[in-house]
């Protein structure tokens, strides 16, 4: 069993999932104990569009640093950049993704990256699942009664769930 699974309370893994974005950066912490997963904490960093880009990124960095300092996750999982047609959006998401990864690196937290298809497959069993199906399964898998809002938070919890599934099959040395 990987060394990082051992903590004071027994066998446990704490995964921080990030759905990067400069307007809304969703985050979710998933606690794995034995074969049970639960959402420990989740939310979103929301920035105003009229604020300078550097200050928006700083707000994301500061908020994620605070979450990491408080909860001390073992790993971070993050969505890989999906490049569609909107180059401006892709650049902004890439910047937020870079800030999140820098935050993890500064805290010595290994980062796992997943494609949208891998995340959907881990949560729903199919890579072609829609947003509603992913959210539904996140609620069921993590025993969350109300739909996480905004959607970026549900996505972050799905990313954390994917990270929890994958981390349990990897050796610790492969994560760093």
Catalytic residues: 19, 79, 152
Dump the DSSP string for 20-61.
--SSEEEEEEEEEETTEEEEEEEEEEE--TTS-HHHHHHHHH
**What tokens appear for 90 in the block?**
């892709």
- Apex 141 CA angle, 71 and 125, nearest 5: 120
Contact yes or no for 125/118 (Cβ under 8 A): no
The DSSP element (H or E) to which 100 belongs, if any, is helix 87-106
Q: How many residues does the chain have?
A: 176
**What tokens appear for 108 in the block?**
């010595």
């Amino acid at each position: 069993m990987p060394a990082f699974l051992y903590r004071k309370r027994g066998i446990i893994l704490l995964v921080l999932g990030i759905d990067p974005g400069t307007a809304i950066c969703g985050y979710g912490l998933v606690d794995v104990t034995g074969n049970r997963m639960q959402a420990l904490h989740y939310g979103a960093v929301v920035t105003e569009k009229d604020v300078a880009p550097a200050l928006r990124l700083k707000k994301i960095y500061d908020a994620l640093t605070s979450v990491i300092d408080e909860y001390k996750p073992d790993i971070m999982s993050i969505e890989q950049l999906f490049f569609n047609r909107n180059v401006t959006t892709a650049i902004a998401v890439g910047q937020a993704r870079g800030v999140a990864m820098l935050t993890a690196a500064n805290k010595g937290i290994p980062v796992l990256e997943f494609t949208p298809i891998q995340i959907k497959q881990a949560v729903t069993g199919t890579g072609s699942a829609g947003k509603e199906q992913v959210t539904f399964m996140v609620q069921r898998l993590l025993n969350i009664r109300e739909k996480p809002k905004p959607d970026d938070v549900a996505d972050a919890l799905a990313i954390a769930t994917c990270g929890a599934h994958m981390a349990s099959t990897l050796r610790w040395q492969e994560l760093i």
